[in-house]
Amino acid sequence: SQTIHQWPATLVQPVGSPLSLECTVEGTSNPNLYWYRQAAGRGLQLLFYSVGIGQISSEVPQNLSASRPQDRQFILSSKKLLLSDSGFYLCAWSGTSGYEQYFGPGTRLTVT
Amino acid sequence: GDSVTQMEGPVTLSEEAFLTINCTYTATGYPSLFWYVQYPGEGLQLLLKATKADDKGSNKGFEATYRKETTSFHLEKGSVQVSDSAVYFCALRAPDSNYQLIWGAGTKLIIKP
C-alpha cells in the first residue's frame, strides 16, 4: 500500500530564516505530487504541483519554491520566510491520471 | 471557471442527529466529485467519491449522490457521533484536467454529546 510522509510535523522559524519541508511517497511510482497551504480556519491553496522529476508548476507567485530531486520526493523551500508564510502545509500525491489525491499528515509552520 | 460552493459553518448538531452538508458546483461536462474530511491537526482523508451522474458514494455511514440536474453533491449521515467532528471539504476534478482538484472552502462540523 502507498504511504506519504511529511516532516517536520511542526516548525517555528524567525522571519527571514530559510525553510525546507520534505515529503516522500512510498509504494507507488511516478506519482503526481502537490504542495498546498492552509491558513488558519481557511480552505486549501494549491502552491505547486509536479508531474515528474524536475518538473514543477507554480500556481501562486510567492517567495516559496519547490523541487523534485527524485521520483517520490518533493521539497518546499524558501530563502527568507515572511510572517505571512505561517500556516499548515500539506503534501499530496495522485496517480498519473490525477484522479483522487492522498494527503500527508501536514507540517504546522509558525513564523515569528 | 470551475468552482465549488459549500454551506458555511460551523454546523453544530447533537449526537445522533441527521447531517446534511450542502455542496454545489459549476463545471462543464461531467466532473468527478469528492468529499474529504480533516480531523483537527491532521491531513485530509478521502471520504467518498462519485464519477458520474446518479452515482452514490458512501463510506463510514456517510453518503453523497451526484446530481447533475441540480449540480449538487450533498453529504449526508443518518446519525452523527462526536467523533465525526471535523472539517469537511467538497472538491471536483474537471474532465479535461489530469491534476488539479477544485476545492470548496470547507465546512466545520461540531457534534455535541
Per-residue pLDDT in tens (0 to 9) along chain B, 113 residues: 889 999 888 999 999 999 999 999 999 888 999 999 999 989 999 999 999 999 999 999 999 999 999 999 999 999 999 999 999 999 999 887 767 889 999 999 999 99
Confidence of residue A52 (pLDDT cuts 50, 70, 90): very high
pLDDT > 70? residue A98: no
Chain A, chain B: beta-carbon pairs less than 8 Å apart = 51
Distance from CA of A33 to the nearest CA of B (A): 9
- State the Cα–Cα distance between residues A100 and A54, nearest whole angstrom: 22
Do strands B3-6 and A64-70 pair parallel, antiparallel, or not at all (unpaired)? Answer: unpaired
Cα R_g (chain B), whole angstroms: 14
DSSP H helix total and E strand total for chain B: 0, 12
**Residue B46 corresponds to which cell in the numbers above?**
478521502
Q: Which residues of B touch A92 (CB under 8 A)?
A: 44
Q: Which residues of B touch A39 (CB under 8 A)?
A: none
Query: Cβ B41–A43 below 8 Å, yes or no?
Result: no
Tell me what percent of chain B is helix, strand and coil, each rounded to the nearest 5: 5, 50, 45
Confidence of residue A82 (pLDDT cuts 50, 70, 90): very high
Q: Which residues of A touch B106 (CB under 8 A)?
A: 42-44
